[in-house]
Amino acid sequence: MYDDILVPTDGSEAVERALDHAVRLASDHDATIHALYVVDRRIATASSGDLHDEVVDDLESQGEEAVAAVVDRAEEAGLDVETHVVRGTPDTEIVDYADENGIDVIVLSPEGKSPRERIRSLGSVSDRVADDATVPVFLIK
């Protein structure tokens, strides 16, 4: 039923609960886990010049660490895993990635909000993904 499962990660502890569910689901269906981290362009563009490059490099480094944690968990369970760190708006990139890569289900936590969203109360990434995705979305609290 599920061959490809997308686990968006922001590196927060909340992702662990979603990852637990995704690993069980992938194990049950012999599916591949796709770990996706999105460097939020809204945060990156808030800086300029050398600071912009430094911010983007830092965010990409955080992204590599976040997807590596997913790799470790998936490999412990004997699962295949693919990783991607991309730049953009998180909800848009998650939905686009799912559409472009044949993802069967998205598993994420509704609790991992970016600092900018907390400040501006723009709503959660998970709400927008659930609204816009063309595949099932499991929100794991």
Spatial neighbors of 25 by CB under 8 A, at least 6 apart, are 2, 5, 31, 105, 107, 138
Q: Which range marks the domain in which residue 19 is found? A: 4-139
Q: Measure Cα distances from 54 to 24, 47, 48, 50, 70 in Å.
A: 37, 9, 10, 6, 25
At 5 the pLDDT is: 98
Spatial neighbors of 14 by CB under 8 A, at least 6 apart, are 109, 111, 112
- Cα R_g (the chain), whole angstroms: 15
At 49 the pLDDT is: 62
The total domain count for the chain is 1
- pLDDT in 10s for each residue of the chain, 141 residues: 899 999 999 998 889 999 999 999 999 999 999 999 999 887 766 666 666 778 888 889 999 999 999 999 999 999 999 999 999 999 999 999 999 999 999 999 887 645 554 444 345 888 999 999 999 999 998
CATH at residue 68? 3.40.50.620
Contact 89, 41 (CB under 8 A): yes
At 47 the pLDDT is: 60
Tell me the pTM: 0.88
At 141 the pLDDT is: 81
